[in-house]
Amino acid sequence: MIFENYLLSNINLQQQEILFISSRAQTVTLRRNDLILQAGDICRHKIFVASGLLRTYSIDANGNEHILQFSPEHTWTLDVESYDKAIPSVVNIGAVEPSEILIWEKNDFENIRAELPSFRKFAEELISRNIYYNRQRMLTTLSATPEEKYQDFIIRFPNLLQRLPLRMIASYLGISLKTLTRIRHAQLQR
Amino acid sequence: MIFENYLLSNINLQQQEILFISSRAQTVTLRRNDLILQAGDICRHKIFVASGLLRTYSIDANGNEHILQFSPEHTWTLDVESYDKAIPSVVNIGAVEPSEILIWEKNDFENIRAELPSFRKFAEELISRNIYYNRQRMLTTLSATPEEKYQDFIIRFPNLLQRLPLRMIASYLGISLKTLTRIRHAQLQR
């Protein structure tokens, strides 16, 4: 129902077309910390987050976690290179909160894209928005102070602030937990 | 001629199709430091670098340059968000070396894409490769040590090392010139 409403509010589709898309999906329930993709495995699904919150991350040789992406409700995720090329993924995708997700196998998703031009167009728009955001994020990562990075995060993801442990926000911004704690402390005092 | 050979070696096209693509392009010669796009202007062209080397960069409030992309010969560049949405660009694109570039206006490029499915497919592949690379670059930027970042750059862009001033490599990697100089010095001593 969540997914059907999401489609209705984003794309002009007939009821039977919506059914065609959602009938190909499998529903998966994730507990906190469950993985839907493990580094080393091949990403075989497109993933829509119906409720909850996922994160995409890698773990370095020292056991530190580096977060590439947060995927809250009503967003999509996957490891695109692993999915496209059927090669092992370098990232994990796991649940930050208990989550309900819909997943499509590649063949099914490609069929849907081929059958429904308006869905294909919408999917392409999402990819474009993602490209714009990642360019901006790279520029911010290279050029902004830690304070500016945090400010940018607050503006872009206001509803994630309360849902994420500080260490994950710090990891996403590429700053230390100590620095982030200092920034927040300074802001609270103003 | 460079562009025609580039197409021939990458896509299966008829001679007249190649002519159709290249006849829509305008050739522009850039001296070192010339800009083909200035921050604040709208990016109205797809750009192919026939020879030379361009860089895409922003300048922060302190006058520091942050480099988003290097575009050597036989690669494409643009500010995709500015181009797609016809909004002012936040980046500059300028010549690191004297360069010869081909540029297409949006309408012409869209016509070419619509007329030639194999060219469209090739263009989409380039976008995908770009997405893969930028994901990997973001992970490296977040997780790697300065030494690892430099090593990664050497492996990925071996033929750019001698052509770029150190400060530009440092800026691209998001490390200080001092750190990069120290890393190179340590490597030379080994």
Q: Identify whether the C-beta of residue B103 lies closer than 8 Å to the C-beta of residue A100.
A: no
CA contacts within 13 A on the Cβ side of A30: 27
pLDDT tens digits along A147-159: 999 999 999 999 9
Tell me the average pLDDT across B82-103: 98
Proportion of chain A above pLDDT 90, given as a percent = 96
Please compute the mean of the pLDDT values over residues A33-40 and round it to a whole number.
98
Given an 8 Å threshold on Cβ–Cβ distance, is B142 in contact with A174? yes
The answer for B 84-113 residues in CB contact with A (under 8 A) is: 84, 90-91
Q: What is the mean pLDDT of residues B8-22?
A: 95
At A35, the amino acid letter reads L
Query: What are the chain B neighbours of A67 within 8 Å (beta carbons)?
Result: 142
Q: Once rounded to an integer, what is the mean pLDDT over residues B118-141?
A: 96
Is A143 in Cβ contact with B138 (below 8 Å)?
A: no
Q: Which residue of B has its CA nearest to A128?
A: B81
pLDDT at site A86:
98
pLDDT at A189: 85
- Shortest Cα distance, chain A CAs vs residue B11, angstroms: 20
Residue % of chain B over a pLDDT of 70: 100
Q: Residue A10 — very low, low, confident or very high, per pLDDT cuts 50/70/90?
A: very high
What is the DSSP code string of B44-81?
Answer: -EEEEEEESEEEEEEE-TTS-EEEEEEEETTEEE--HH
User: Is the per-residue pLDDT at A61 higher than 90?
Assistant: no
Say yes or no to pLDDT of A42 above 80: yes
CA atoms within 13 A of residue A156's CA, in its CB half-sphere: 18
Instruction: Count CB-CB contacts under 10 A for residue A107.
Output: 10
Euclidean distance between CA atoms B158 and B153, whole angstroms: 8
Q: Does B126 touch chain A (CB under 8 A)?
A: no
Cβ–Cβ below 8 Å for A68 and B132: no
The pLDDT of residue B187 is 86
**Position B188 confidence tier, pLDDT thresholds 50, 70, 90:** confident
| Confidence check: pLDDT of A131 > 90 | yes
Selected for mutation to probe chain B from A57, A135, A141, A153 (highest B CB count within 10 Å) is A135
Residue among B81, B127, B139 minimizing CB distance to A135 = B81
To the nearest whole Å, the CA of A68 is away from the closest chain B CA by: 7
Cβ-Cβ contacts under 8 Å, A145 against chain B:
none
Residue A5: its pLDDT value, please? Answer: 95
b/e code B93-109 from CB counts within 10 Å (16+ = b): bbbbbebbbbbbeeebb
Q: Amino acid identity, residue B28? A: V
Q: How confident is the model at residue B61 (pLDDT cuts 50, 70, 90)?
A: confident
Which residues, numbered 154 to 183 in chain A, qualify as contacts with chain B under a Cβ-Cβ cut-off of 8 Å? 171, 174
- Binned at pLDDT 50, 70 and 90, residue A69 comes out as very high
User: Contact, A135 vs B80, CB < 8 A?
Assistant: yes
Which residue intervals of chain B are DSSP H helices? 2-10, 15-23, 80-85, 106-115, 117-143, 146-156, 166-173, 177-189
Mean pLDDT of chain A: 96
Hunting for tokens 């010139």 — which residue is that? Answer: B177
Confidence of residue B189 (pLDDT cuts 50, 70, 90): confident
Mean pLDDT of A132-136: 96
Record: contact A64-B139, CB cut-off 8 A: no
Mean pLDDT of chain B: 96
Average pLDDT over residues B135-161: 95
Whether chain B has a CB inside 8 Å of the CB on A135: the answer is yes
